[in-house]
Structures are given as C-alpha cells and as structure tokens.
Structure 1
Amino acid sequence: MKDIYEQLKEVIMAILPMAVLIIILQFTVIGLPFDIFFRFIAGVIMVGLGLFLFLVGVHIGLLPIGDMIGSALPKTKKPWLIILIGFILGAVVTIAEPDVRVLASQVDQVSDGAISNLVLVYAVAMGVGFFVAVAMARTIFNIPLKYILVTGYAAVFTLASFTPDAFIPISFDAGGVTTGPMTVPFILALGVGVASVLRGKQSTSDGFGLVALASIGPIISVMILGVIYG
C-alpha cells in the first residue's frame, strides 16, 4: 500500500506543475475556447490515471521480472545464450515502447508513407537489440564501457557523412525515444540482474550503462535505413 501511495504522489508531482502553468496561462495570456480547455483538464486527469497505473505495473511486474531473468541467465553458464536472449529481449521490449510508435507514426505521416511505421519500428528494435547484446557481452567479458561508447559514436559520426540530411535528425530522435517508460525499467533491471550474479552484489553498478548503449543502436540502424532509402 505504501508503494502505491508513493507512485500516486510521484505522478501528482510530475503532472501538477504543468497543469497549474497551463491554467495560469489560460486565464492570463492564451484564452483558449473553454471547450478546448475542458478537454485539456479531462486529458490531464486521464493521463495522470494512466501514468499511475503504468508505474504501478512497472514496479509490480516489469522490474521484478527483468531482475529475475537477469539473475537466472548467468546460471546457464552459456555466454552465447545470455547475449542472444539480451538481443531478443531488447528488440521485443522496444517494439512495445509507446514512444517508438509515436515517432514511427510521425515519420510515416511526413514521408507520405515512404517510410512505413513497421519499417522504422523494426529498424529501431533491431538496433536496440544489437546493443543490448553488446552490453551483455560487455558485462560477461568485463569490457570497459568507454571503449564501446567511443566505438559506437565513431560509427555514428562516420555514418552521418553518408546519410541523407533528412534522416540524421530522425536517427537521433530514434535514439531518444528508446529511453522511454517501457524500455528503460526492463533493460536496467535486466542489466543489474546479470551483473549482480556475474560480478557479485558489490558490482551491480556494472549493470548500468545499458541505456546509454541501447540508445546508440537506433541511431545507427536508422542511419543505415537512410542510406538504403537515400
């Protein structure tokens, strides 16, 4: 019950400042029609309720299962299996990410269907999956994070030279939307779970950095998509 109360307080503190600001602007500067304003109020209430239920679901289901999968995988003593499952989980969680869907629909709209929703969603998912697999390999073989980050961003800036200009901002936005509310809790819990078993409880910080790596994958995959479509 205490956890539910904490989630409710967190949602209220997240939404209330924006709602108060819009209300103040409505009666001082903007002056929107009242039917639009009431729709905003209704939307705030529904968003708050949805976000509250989502956060409760994350803490009840996503975080524990991610941690349990991460803790169970190293016990197989099969590095290839850990890396493969990291790839699959990274990809399927990204496909379920609402932020990725929003970006894909916007790109589909402005490109007049030239880049369909599914093409972009699956390209982003493959990029995230690949770098989650890289992150699993980094934890298993104790590879320093900085080397992977430098190599990854070197690849990004090299690809940028060959990518059409229209795809470069889309690719960096794709890297941002993968740090959404569905992907981040699961991937972080997975990484911490794997690191806690392989490195011990004192080195669970090795599980962090997965989100940083996962955000590189979509940038590279969408740039490759740009080279293909370009």
Structure 2
Amino acid sequence: MQNVKDTFSEVVYAVLPLTVVIIILQFTLIWLPWELFVQFLIGAVMVTLGLALFLLGVHIGLLPVGEAIGAALPQTRRVPLIVFFGFLLGFVVTVAEPDVRVLAMQVDLVSNGEISSRVLIYSVALGVGLFVGLAMLRTILGIPLSYLLAGGYSLVFVLAAFTPPQFIPISFDAGGVTTGPMTVPFILALGVGVASVLGGKSSTADGFGLVALASIGPILAVMLLGVMYG
C-alpha cells in the first residue's frame, strides 16, 4: 500500500509543475480556446492516473521479472542462448515502448507515409535487440564498456557520411526514445540479473551500461534505413 502511495505522489509531483505553468500561461498570455483548455485539464488527470498505474506495474512486474530472467539465463552456461534471448527480449520490449511509437507516428506523418511507422518501429527494435545481445556478450566476456561505446559511436559517425541528411536527426531521436519507461527498467534489471550470477564478477555494476549500448543500435538501424531509402 505504501508503494502505491509513493508512486502516485511521485507522479503528481512530476505532472503538477507542467500543469500549473500551462494554467498560468492560459490566464496571462496564450488564452487557448476553453474547449481545448478543458481537454488539457482532463488529459492531465488521465496522464497522472495512467502514468501512476504504469509505473506501479513496472515496479511490481517488469523489474522483478527482468532481474529473475537475467539471473536464470547464465545458469544455462550456453553463451549463444544468453545472447539470443538478450536480443529477443530487447526487441520485444522496444516494440512495446510508447516513446518509440510516438516517434514512429510523427515520422510517418511528416513523411506522408513514405516511412511507415511499422518499418521504423521494427528497425529501432532490431537495433536495440542486437546491441542488448552484444551487451550480454560483453558482460560474459568482460569486455570494457568504453571499447564498445567508442567503436559504436565511431561507426555512427562514419555511417552518417553516407546517410541522407533528413535521416540523421531521426536516427539520433530514435536512440533517445529507446530510453523510455518500458525499455530502461527491463533492460537494466536484465543486465543486473545476468551480472549478479556470472562467475568472476565482483559487482552487479557490470550489469550497467546496457542502456548506453542499446541506444547506439537504433541510431545505426535508422541510418541504414536511410541509406536503403536514399
């Protein structure tokens, strides 16, 4: 019960400042139509309730399950299996990410359907999945995170030279939206779970860095998409 109260309080404190600022602007500068302003107030209430329930579901379900899966996978002692399920989980959780869907709908809208939302969602999810699998392999082999980050972003800047200009900002936005409320908790819990049971690991801190790696995948995927469309 205390967890429910804390979650609702956290969401209210997050949404309330934005709501107050817009209310102040409404009565001082912008004077939106009353119908639109009332819709905003109703939407703010719905966002508060929905986000609170969403975060509660993350804490109750996603985090424990992610960590449990991460702890169970290394016990198989099969590296290909661990990497494959890391890829698969990274893919499906990105498909379910609300932020990715918002970006995909906006890109579909401004491109007049030339880049469909479904193509963009699956491209981003594929990039995340590949790099989550790579992150699993990095944890198993003990590869320094800095090496992978340097290599990944070097590849990003090289590929940017061959990508049509309109795809470059979309690709970096795609990397940003993968750090949303669905993907981050699950991937972090998965990484901590894997690192906590692998032999020779002194700290679960080895499980961190997955989100940093996962955000490179969508950038590369959308740039490759741009090269193909271009």
Counterpart residue type for residue 42 of structure 1: I
Counterpart residue type for residue 59 of structure 2: H
Counterpart residue type for residue 85 of structure 2: I
TM-score normalized by the length of structure 2: 0.98
Extract unaligned runs of 5+ from structure 1: none
Q: Does 1:88 align with 2:120?
A: no
Structure 1 match to 2:176: 176
Q: Deviations 1:29-87 (Å, cap 9, x if unpaired)?
A: 11112221111110000000000000000001000000000000011011111001000
Question: Using the alignment, how far apart are the partners of 1:117 and 1:8 within structure 2?
Answer: 32
Question: Using the alignment, how far apart are the partners of 1:201 and 1:50 within structure 2?
Answer: 39
Q: Does 1:7 align with 2:7?
A: yes
SS of alignment partner, residue 203 of structure 2: helix
Question: Using the alignment, how far apart are the partners of 1:173 and 1:79 within structure 2?
Answer: 32
RMSD of aligned Cα (Å): 1.0
Question: Using the alignment, how far apart are the partners of 1:178 and 1:184 within structure 2?
Answer: 8
TM-score normalized by the length of structure 1: 0.98
Counterpart residue type for residue 138 of structure 2: R
Deviation of the 1:203 alpha carbon: 0.7
Structure 1 match to 2:217: 217
SS of alignment partner, residue 205 of structure 1: helix
Extract unaligned runs of 5+ from structure 2: none
Q: 1:112 to 1:206 in 2, by over 3 A?
A: same
Q: Does 1:41 align with 2:41?
A: yes
Alignment of 1:62-211 (within 5 A): 62-198=62-198, 202-211=202-211
Q: What is the identity percentage for the equivalent residue pairs of Structure 1 and Structure 2?
A: 67
